[in-house]
Amino acid sequence: MKKSVFFSALTVAGLVAGSAMAQDGGSPTLALVKDHGALKCGVNTGTPGFAAPDANGVWKGFDVDFCRAVATAVFGDPEKVEYTPLSSAVRFTALASGEIDLLARNTTWTFTRDVDLKNTFIGVNYYDGQGFMVPKDLGVSSAKELSGATVCIETGTTTELNLADYFRVNGMDYEPVPVDSFTEAQTQFLAGACDVYTTDASALASSRSSFETPDAYVVLPEIISKEPLGPLVRHGDSAWGDIVRWTLNAMISAEELGVTSANAAELAKGTENPEINRLLGSEGELGGMLGLENDWALNVISQVGNYGEAFERNIGESTPIGLARGLNAQWTNGGLIYSPPFR
């Protein structure tokens, strides 16, 4: 009798859980996020322009905007995010353990991080490459003049491995000065603990912009690696991966199609372009296929903006970071930013 009641209870619980997952497009992560009432998003411990708290403690930046976009897709509210600042060393553990639902923290997409660590990179949101920064008074104009230098390098990163490869290939020696975070790297570099600071070129630009005397430092011309940076989720919940992936694609497609935060609501009333109509939910049922409301992308673009708006607001040429679009221009403008079609 007791066994019968126990198994009946399990059956009911299973049916309830299955029903909730069915409503959430079959994604257990989406069900957990909704139950929690906020997206748990892992970000950098502090890289101005990409992810850093402002003077009021409010997180701002290009990667932060992506966290806000996914929260908007799920809740219709970009503020429903809990940010977890993570060092390079612990970021993958935090994702695997369920401490966070999404990692949006300047992370390079590599084979081993995807296959061996069992992460799903949902796309590339910034095409980067590794560079070097030195004090101008060091008198160096090329990375090939750095033999014997001390180098500040963040441990547990692809840049650490690239650095070793570059010096080996060029027959040069160096002395690593290991650091645990972007902030520590800046502090050690400015204190003269190392001759060179190396990391992604975008992070070097971000770092240099925050110095009291940025003109006293130069970024050398060599880019020694490919660093495709992108948000990621853990393996095992492809439906959640679809939500995160198509949120990024919605922001990219919106820019390509001329849909902005300023005109999205008006365009959502209907246009002659069927892809815009499908993107904004006035035609088709794409949102329902993801387990979301049909106006999910309209909410993302209206409240966070398209890819170009997020880029220019946080790291573009008019900001202190001052990055040109370069490889991160739309494919229609000679760049690599490209979304599959919304159909």
Model confidence pLDDT, tens digit, residues 149-187: 999 998 888 899 999 999 999 999 999 999 988 888 999
Task: Kindly state whether residue 313 falls inside one of the protein's structural domains.
Answer: yes
Amino acid at 226: K
Task: Kindly state whether residue 90 falls inside one of the protein's structural domains.
Answer: yes
Amino acid at 298: L
Q: Which of 237, 252, 226, 265 is nearest to 309 (CA)?
A: 252
Does 164 share its domain with 252?
no
Report the SS3 class of residue 176: strand
Q: What is the mean pLDDT of the chain?
A: 92
- Residues 134 and 195 sit within 8 Å (Cβ to Cβ): yes
Phi-psi region of 281 (alpha: psi -120 to 50; beta: other; left: phi over 0): left
Which of 196, 227, 258 is a domain's end point?
227
Does 83 share its domain with 143?
no
Amino acid at 101: D
Which of 192, 227, 262 is a domain's end point?
227
Task: Kindly state whether residue 8 falls inside one of the protein's structural domains.
Answer: no
pLDDT at 181: 82
Contacts of 255 by beta carbon, 8 Å cutoff, 6+ apart = 306, 307, 308, 309, 330, 337
Does 211 share its domain with 164?
yes
- Taking the C-alpha atoms of residue 281 and residue 182, their distance in angstroms, rounded to an integer, is 40
pLDDT at 24: 64
Q: Please count the other Cβ atoms lying within 10 Å of the Cβ belonging to residue 298.
A: 24
Does 272 share its domain with 310?
yes
Phi-psi region of 140 (alpha: psi -120 to 50; beta: other; left: phi over 0): beta
Give the tokens for residue 30.
């989406």
Model confidence pLDDT, tens digit, residues 250-263: 999 999 999 999 99
Does 237 share its domain with 321?
yes
Q: Please count the other Cβ atoms lying within 10 Å of the Cβ belonging to residue 155.
A: 14
Question: How many structural domains is the chain composed of?
Answer: 2
Does 203 share its domain with 55?
no
Which of 227, 248, 278 is a domain's end point?
227
Task: Kindly state whether residue 22 falls inside one of the protein's structural domains.
Answer: no
Task: Kindly state whether residue 7 falls inside one of the protein's structural domains.
Answer: no
Give the tokens for residue 145.
């003049």
Task: Kindly state whether residue 57 falls inside one of the protein's structural domains.
Answer: yes
Does 214 share its domain with 172?
yes
Does 66 share its domain with 97?
yes
Give the tokens for residue 14.
């299973």
Q: DSSP assignment, residue 106?
A: S
Task: Kindly state whether residue 46 falls inside one of the protein's structural domains.
Answer: yes
Does 242 share its domain with 218?
no
pLDDT at 90: 94
Chain center to CA of 202: 13
Phi-psi region of 304 (alpha: psi -120 to 50; beta: other; left: phi over 0): alpha
Phi/psi at 132 (5° precision): -130, 140
pLDDT at 22: 53
Does 120 share its domain with 133?
no
- CA distance to 3, 109, 209, per residue, from 91 (Å): 43, 14, 25
Question: In terms of pLDDT, which residue wins out, 248 or 20?
Answer: 248
pLDDT at 210: 86
- Taking the C-alpha atoms of residue 71 and residue 174, their distance in angstroms, rounded to an integer, is 44
CATH number at 208 reads 3.40.190.10
**Domain limits at 160?**
129-227
pLDDT at 8: 41
Q: How many helices (H) and strands (E) in the chain? A: 14, 14
Does 253 share its domain with 213?
no
Please tell me the least confidently modeled range out of 48-52, 156-160, 187-191: 156-160
Q: DSSP assignment, residue 119?
A: E
